[in-house]
Amino acid sequence: PEAEVEFSAKLVDDKGAIVDARTFRAAAPVSVMEAEPAAAALDKAFGEALTNLVLWTLGAIPAQPAGGRRHAP
């Protein structure tokens, strides 16, 4: 058995237009069909998918100058 995680994310610009989108999937084996091993497998799969989301986001967003962008009030 496997624990599977899947979610989608969108990157939007400051006007709300979608500039990119992606679905992230990951799976991890479950050693025994019991709550604790299943939860551990879900945690592992989610961690992998979340890491991929962060790496994708960092690669897709242009670098900002130190201190980030400032918006007028």
Q: Residue type at 17?
A: A
Residues contacting residue 48 through CB under 8 Å, at least 6 positions apart: 5, 26, 28
Q: CA distances (Å), 49 to each of 14, 38, 46, 53, 58, in order?
A: 26, 16, 5, 6, 14
> Mind listing the pLDDT tens digit for each residue in 1-20?
999 999 999 999 889 999 99
> Mind listing the pLDDT tens digit for each residue in 45-61?
999 999 999 999 999 87
| pTM score of the predicted model | 0.77
DSSP string spanning 30-71?
-SSSSHHHHHHHHHHHHHHHHHHHHHHHHHHSPP--TT----
**Which pLDDT belongs to residue 71?**
56
